[in-house]
Structure 1
Amino acid sequence: MNVPAALSWVLVFAGLWSVIAWVPFLLQVWKDPRSKDDKGNMTSYLTTRFMLITTSMILGIATLVIGFRLLAG
C-alpha cells in the first residue's frame, strides 16, 4: 500500500500521544482514594478506568506500529 509519508507520521504522532497522555491519568486513578475500598480491594471505579486506559493504550501502540511500518515501506 502506498501511503504518503505525512499520513504515516500522523499515525506515529497519534500513537505516541495516546501512549504518553494516558500514563499520568493511570497513575492518578491508581492513587485515587475511590480506587480501593476499606479492605484494599479494587473498586469498580478503578476497574472501569483501568480497562478504558489500557484499551486506549493498546490501540495507541497499534497505531504507532502501523505508522512506523508504513514509513518503513
Structure 2
Amino acid sequence: MIPLLATLLFVNAAFNALVWPRFYARVAKDPRARTADGTPTRFLVVHGILVGVALVIAVVSVVAGVIALTTA
C-alpha cells in the first residue's frame, strides 16, 4: 500500500509541476492580467497565488512520497 501512496504523491507532484507553470504563462499573456499602464490586476494576482499554492503542494507531495518510501 505504501508504494501505491508514494506513486500517487509523485504523480500529483509531476502534474502540478508540469501543468500549473504553463497555465500561469497563459494567464500572464491574457489582456485581463494587466491594466493599461502595466500594473497587475487581481486576475493575475489571484492566479499567481493559485499557482504558488499548487507548486507548494507539489513539493510537499514529493517530500511525503520520499518519506513514505524510506520509512516503509
Whether TM exceeds 0.5 here: the answer is: yes
Q: Which amino acid aligns with 1:24?
A: R
Which residue is equivalent to 1:72? 70
The structure 2 residue matched to 1:41, chosen from 39, 55, 63, is 39
The answer to whether structure 1 residue 5 and structure 2 residue 39 are counterparts is no
Q: Which amino acid aligns with 2:2?
A: P
Deviation per CA, 1:34-68, whole angstroms, max 9, x where unpaired? 11101100001101111111111111211122112
Q: Using the aligned pairs only, state the percent identity.
A: 23
Q: Scaled by the length of structure 2, what TM-score is found?
A: 0.86
* RMSD after superposition: 1.3
Contiguous gaps of at least 5 residues in structure 1: none
Shift, 1:69, TM fit: 2.1
Aligned residues of 1:16 and 1:61 also touching (Cα < 8 A): no
Q: Scaled by the length of structure 1, what TM-score is found?
A: 0.85
Counting matched residue pairs gives: 71
